[in-house]
């Protein structure tokens, strides 16, 4: 069984037991979160596609930690003594998916 969920403007394919990094959520480590924007649920041969979401479907997950992504470096350059180096590391929330619940 797996589901397609949307969080932070991005879509993720999740199943029970999967660990994933999503855009920063306002939750502390150890908290339980419910992702209710479930776009599709596949259970064997049964496929439920929402319009836009599946009615009553919820993905339950546990917040493991807040992590930083890889460093992204940019470099601006112009020929007249102008050089600018910038860096950025995005903050993410690491989630452990516990269960996919589909309402009746």
- For residue range 18-64, list pLDDT tens digits in order: 999 999 999 999 999 999 999 999 999 999 999 999 999 999 999 99
Q: What is the CA radius of gyration of the chain?
A: 18
Query: Which tokens belong to 104?
Result: 């009746």
Max distance between CA atoms of the chain, in angstroms, equals 66
Q: Which of 101, 103, 102, 99 is nearest to 17 (CA)?
A: 99
Contact of 76 with 83, CB cutoff 8 Å: yes
Whose CA is closest to 36, among 95, 102, 98, 91? 102
Q: Please tell me the predicted confidence (pLDDT) of residue 104.
A: 60
Q: List pLDDT tens digits, range 85-99.
A: 999 999 999 999 999
């Amino acid at each position: 069984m797996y589901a397609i969920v949307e969080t932070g403007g991005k879509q993720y394919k999740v199943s029970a037991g999967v660990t994933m990094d999503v855009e920063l959520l306002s939750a502390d480590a150890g908290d339980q979160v419910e992702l209710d924007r479930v776009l599709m649920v596949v259970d064997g041969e049964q496929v439920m596609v929402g319009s836009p979401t599946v009615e009553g479907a919820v993905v339950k997950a546990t917040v493991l930690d807040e992590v930083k992504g890889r460093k992204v470096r940019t470099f601006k350059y112009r020929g007249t003594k102008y050089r600018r180096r910038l860096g950025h590391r995005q903050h993410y929330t690491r989630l452990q998916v516990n269960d996919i619940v589909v309402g009746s």
